[in-house]
């Protein structure tokens, strides 16, 4: 990896971050008259902890990662955007991404006026390691890998990801939004071995908390510091921090949901493959299935007419004819199958 100093944009390197009202004082004060807050309506009258100390402490214990290696954002969307803002000079630097993958990397790149070089997966949806490295040049700052990948559903081979981490001299962003559903382990345990690794995880999927907007980025303390310096000071609100603490004390919920969803996914895999117009159900390491059908638009529109919404991915690279179906509650999955059986007739 290049020295971090060489990867960071000069304006970010030289930035003097906003100093919040409570930065100068740590410890327990009895009277806070420093931030022009309204003294009534506690506890929501107070600004949230800009460092999210309690939440990070819990996540740190839970994940066995030091709190200095944790960045919390308003969903994973925030660290994705901040990575562009920290490392990519608009109009000059570029990033490399697999294709097909999660659409947010491209959107964040477009907003920041940064070129994305997309490298197709192989026909088996595996990483083209040599192709990815060939696409990189001196101005490539970030390499986006999503595993399990959205929308293909598969995990990539660990040897390939590690190979990229060793050979790419910029930052590898590994998006593990769906890792709780996968048989593979997170690469979190490798964080200390690779100073150029950023792992994204989220409370939006397995934890069932897309509504509170809380995403995690795990990285070297130097990278975490860069992201922390440029975030909005109070990016995680009081309600979200409270809810996250509550949630982390009830991990059994998450485990129960995941096991339910995996069982449902297996059932759906078989049931969908049985439909005559379904040409293929791709194997999945996530909470959704990618299926190939003869007339994707007709299937999609028919389901919409039955008030069932899935995702049409048929215009995405390597996904011709493909629809993406999220695994729902058992009753919802039954309704989908019922509707698809009607379409079949
Ligand atoms: C759903 C999803 C996320 C989650 O984004 P949040 O902003 O945390 O809700 C991240 N990455 C991928 C690939 C996803 O599919």
Whether the CB-CB separation of 343 and 295 falls below 8 Å is answered with: no
Which of 97, 100, 144, 175, when mutated, tests ligand 1's pocket best, judged by the most ligand atoms within 8 Å of its CB?
Answer: 175
Residue 119 dihedral angles phi and psi, to the nearest 5°: -120, 120
Q: Give distance in angstroms: CA of 25 to centre of ligand 1.
A: 35
DSSP string, 117-181: EEEEPPTTS---HHHHHHH--TTEEEEEEESSPTTT-PPPPHHHHHHHHHH-SSEEEEE-TTGGG
Q: How many CB atoms lie within 10 A of CB 256?
A: 11
* Residue 20 scores a pLDDT above 80: no
Q: Give distance in angstroms: CA of 76 to centre of ligand 1.
A: 6
- pLDDT at residue number 345: 84
Torsion angle (degrees, nearest 10) of CA 89, 93, 98, 104: 20
pLDDT band at residue 46 under the 50/70/90 scheme: very high
Q: What is the pTM of this model?
A: 0.97
What residue's CA is closest to ligand 1, atom 11?
177
- pLDDT at residue number 30: 85
How far is the C-alpha of 210 from the C-alpha of 148, rounded, in Å?
18
Q: How many CB atoms lie within 10 A of CB 302?
A: 15
Give SS3 for 71.
strand
What value does the mean pLDDT take over residues 46-52? 95
Domains within the chain, CATH numbers bracketed? 4-249 (3.40.640.10), 252-344 (3.90.1150.10)
Q: Give distance in angstroms: CA of 104 to centre of ligand 1.
A: 8
pLDDT band at residue 27 under the 50/70/90 scheme: confident
- Does ligand 1 come within 6 angstroms of the Cβ of 204? yes
* Residue 24 scores a pLDDT above 90: no
DSSP string, 257-284: HHHHHHHHHHHHHHHHHTSTTEEEE---
- Does ligand 1 come within 6 angstroms of the Cβ of 55? no
Q: Which atom of ligand 1 is nearest to the CA of 74?
A: 7
Q: Give distance in angstroms: CA of 218 to centre of ligand 1.
A: 15
What value does the mean pLDDT take over residues 257-275? 98
- Does ligand 1 come within 6 angstroms of the Cβ of 83? no
Q: Give distance in angstroms: CA of 8 to centre of ligand 1.
A: 25
């Amino acid at each position: 990896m290049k020295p971090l100093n060489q990867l960071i944009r000069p304006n970010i390197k030289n930035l003097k971050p906003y100093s919040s009202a409570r930065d100068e004082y740590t410890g327990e004060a009895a009277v806070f008259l420093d931030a022009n807050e309204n003294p009534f309506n506690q506890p929501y009258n107070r600004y949230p902890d800009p460092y999210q100390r309690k939440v990070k402490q819990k996540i740190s214990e839970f994940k066995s990662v030091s709190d200095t290696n944790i960045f919390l954002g308003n969903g994973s969307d925030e660290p994705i955007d901040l990575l562009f803002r920290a490392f990519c000079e608009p109009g000059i630097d570029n990033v490399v991404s697999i294709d097909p993958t999660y659409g947010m990397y491209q959107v964040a790149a477009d907003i920041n006026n940064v070129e994305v070089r997309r490298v197709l997966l192989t026909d088996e949806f595996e990483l083209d390691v040599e192709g990815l490295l060939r696409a990189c040049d001196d101005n490539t700052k970030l390499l986006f890998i999503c595993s399990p990948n959205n929308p293909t559903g598969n995990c990539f081979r660990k040897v390939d990801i590690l190979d990229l981490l060793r050979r790419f001299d910029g930052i590898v962003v590994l998006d593990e939004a769906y890792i709780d559903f996968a048989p593979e382990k997170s690469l979190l345990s490798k964080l200390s071995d690779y100073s150029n690794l950023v792992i994204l995880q989220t409370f939006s999927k397995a934890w069932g908390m897309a509504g509170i907007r809380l995403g995690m980025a795990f990285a070297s303390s130097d990278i975490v510091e860069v992201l922390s310096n440029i975030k909005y000071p109070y990016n995680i609100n009081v309600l979200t921090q409270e809810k996250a603490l509550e949630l982390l004390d009830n991990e059994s919920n998450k485990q129960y949901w995941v096991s339910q969803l995996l069982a449902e996914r297996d059932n759906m895999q078989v049931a969908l493959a049985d439909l005559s117009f379904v040409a293929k159900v791709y194997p999945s390491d996530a909470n959704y299935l990618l299926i190939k059908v003869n007339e994707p638009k007709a299937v999609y529109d028919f389901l919409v007419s039955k008030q069932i919404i899935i995702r049409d991915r048929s215009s995405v690279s390597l996904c011709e004819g493909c629809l993406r179906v999220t695994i729902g509650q058992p009753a919802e999955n039954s309704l989908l199958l019922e509707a698809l059986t009607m379409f079949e007739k």
